[in-house]
Structures are given as structure tokens and as C-alpha cells.
Chains A and B, each alone.
Chain A
């Protein structure tokens, strides 16, 4: 359990948020041309990093907006928060 600093609402309990998993997985531009392997990669394969990971979170019990979080999954410490579309910080 930890606090997340929502870029729109400020610091709130993690309980108010929903995790959207790994960030920056780009949806294929031409889905009809994808092989099964490429689909599997997009849909299922995850880095599942132990350490600093870029993630999507949704303030589902608050402003309901999506944003990105940089979090260390080994100790749940949050390094930074940035809005959707913003350039991710270099870690």
C-alpha cells in the first residue's frame, strides 16, 4: 500500500486507483498485417520488471483520468508521475 500523487487531484491512497499495467506498449498501426507472433507480443508478453517500471494508472475512484507512473516494483517506491502524452522521464 502506498500513496500516488495524481497529477490532477494530488496525493491519494493507492486504493483509489486502478493499475493499468506496463506503459508505452504501442497499439499496432496496421493490425491486419500482424502475424500471430506479433499479436501475442502485443497482447500478452510483458517485461514484468523487478525494479524501475513505467506504468499506467487510472484514478478510478477520483477524477477517473489516466496517467503514467514510474515505480520501483521491488519496494513500491514511486519515482515520478507524468501525464499521458508527456515525454517519459529518463530513469
Chain B
């Protein structure tokens, strides 16, 4: 049993110089066999394991991670959480996640620092205005909070925005989802890892999958750098490397992996208390609790696993940021990095069974997976445990690329996820 984190445990441990904190999760060697193995120890993978154990009583399971948990895209994203998607299927999926976010810290007894500071999406041309207004109406029909703001209301909500109509891409208004916001990304992975480990889930780090053993159309286990692990169910949550695992199993996915970049500035005093996204100029910005400006840039246009990204992408984003926020003209950028995102042709994820029995994929989250972490884990756990999708992720199956029933969120949902 894990000790409960509280103000009292904090005080108690202060007296022993914080040297006696209980280990949050173990570091076991893999067993010979598990009921299910999750490939990928990021937020989505750990959440999947957590809900498999919690809701479906599958506790003889493991999460295998090639690096360290939360060291991939979970620790590389810009931590934006929102659910204002256009289509019904997406609205259902992302709002399911948002509702879990609202109580996640309490549920996990781990402070994920979920902050509902609002997310504002700006419109810069007439088409943006029409699209965003349409999306606001669609959101409200789906029970998701959304309001349209005129330019002066945008300025009032976030005073540092340059709303002059004489700039290249003037602000013509925007939408606001007040329930949206940010969370501490590492804490999400750590909280789920601790919770899953408490229920008996083995979290095996530095364990890279090298092959998937199939017997006809069934899976039999995994070849890993820590030996063979026998299992009848494999849930792959490998983000940018999903295609690499799929190739091992001999199947193809409709994915392309591309570098997506983000950068943070030096820390400054509080200046922006919300998240502002702008698709037409592809720039989004928020401020972390440490005071750094967190800026998201776009993806490169080509397939790459290099975790770097091109300089011109960052340059374009910063040009847009400076035009919209002239106050930042002398800010120094501290760090820049890239993560590899797996993008689907319709910019919607895949949470699905495959033609191989016992092989499940949760991938294709592209540039916007972080916000969905709890919902994605919950629904993927349901899919693995019951060998059937939950009604909220039924539309996000692999077969939609054959049937043509795509969930086209490209541009419809605010491109910059």
C-alpha cells in the first residue's frame, strides 16, 4: 500500500530531510508471462494500465518502456487541454477526457496541477470567423462550453494581444473554452505510474520491444531487450513509433511520423494567465507555473524520427508570436526541442482492434494527444479488456480508412492541437 500524499506527510517528511519518502513505483524485471502488456510508458500507456487494473481487474499486466516513463512526448508537449472539437465523435472523446481531468488529482492522490485557465482560439480572416463560430455552435449542441468573443472582448480577456487592425493578420475575434487549460505533464505520467503500480502493474523501463511474435492471426508475446514476454494481449501506445511496432507485427498503419517543435523562454513574472492559440499563423502560447512562456510551433512537412525539427518552423512561429505580442520582442528563448508525432490522414486518433487477435493500437494522436490522456487510457483499457470498443471510441477504429467514415478534424478543430 502506498502512503497517501497530504500536507501532513509533507510536514512529516520535512523533519527527515525528505530522505524517507516511499518509492513511488518499483523497478522489476519482467515476469515470463502477463495477461496483457502495454507497449509505451507515456501518459496514455500508463493511463491504460491504470484503468485496466482499476476498472477491469486486470492486474497481472506490465507496461514496457524503451526509455524512462514520461520521457517521450508526454514530457515534450505544450500541456494544453481542451475539448472544443467540431465533430460529435471527437467532442465525445475529448470531453470524456476533460471530465476525468477535472477530478484527476484527487483520484490519483497526485497533484497534476490541472489549471482551468481557459483556451482562446483566435480568428484572423473571414473564413476563420465563420469556422470558429460554427465550431462554437457545434460545441454547445454537444454540451461543451464555448463562447464567441469579438475583438474588444479578446483584448479584455488577454490584454497583451495586439488587436490593431493594421497588422498582417489582424485579430477578428476568437472563441473561448473556459473549462480548458493546462496540466503538469510529467506529473500525469508519474501519477498514473504510481497508481497503476499500487494495484500491481509492473512498470518496466529501459525495455525496448524488438519483435512481436505471432501465431497465425494471434499474438503470442513480445521480444524485448529484457527477453521474451509471453502474453495474449498487446496494447501498443507508442506514439511516433507506432509504425515501427506495426511493421514488427506485419501490419501497416495510415500514419506519418513528423517532428513537432516547442520552445520555452526564460522565466518571467506572470504576464499571460490563459492559453492563446492561433491557427492561421500557427502560434500558440501560455505561461508555465515556473514563469516560462511555453510556445508551440508546427510540424515539419516530411517524415522524420530525428526529434529535432527545422529552424524555419520555429522562426515562422516566433514571427507570428511577435506580431501578436509585441511585448515579448526582447524575450530570450531558453530551450527548444522536438517530439515525433504520428499523424493520421484525418487528424483524428486510432483507438482500435486490429486484424490480429490480441493486438490493439492507440495511436495517431498527432499533434494533440496530451489533452486526451485520461480519456484515451480509459477507453483503450475498455477496448483491450472487452475486445470491443467503448461507444465513445467506436468511431476511431482502423476500419474507417476502408469504409471512408473519417473523422475529419483537419482544420475543423483548430489545426494547432
Contact = CB atoms under 8 A, between A and B. Distances in A.
Contact of B402 (A15, A37, A50): A37
Contacts of B306: 73-76
Nearest to A57: B302
B230 to A, nearest CB: 26
Contact of B252 (A14, A19, A45): A45
Interface in B288-326: 301-306, 308-312
B241 A36 contact: no
Interface hub of A14, A39, A44, A55 (most chain B Cβ within 10 A): A44
B136 interface: no
Interface residues of B, number: 27
A32 interface: no
A72 B342 CA distance: 17
A45 B254 contact: yes
A55 B256 CA distance: 12
B71 interface: no
Q: Give the most central of B254, B255, B402: most A CB within 10 Å.
A: B402
A36 B403 contact: yes
A46 B305 contact: no
B312 A50 contact: no
A48 B255 contact: yes
Nearest to A46: B256
Contacts of A75: 306
Interface of A: 1, 14-15, 18-19, 21-22, 36-37, 39-41, 43-50, 53, 55, 73-76
Interface of B: 241, 243-244, 247, 252-257, 301-306, 308-312, 342, 345, 401-404
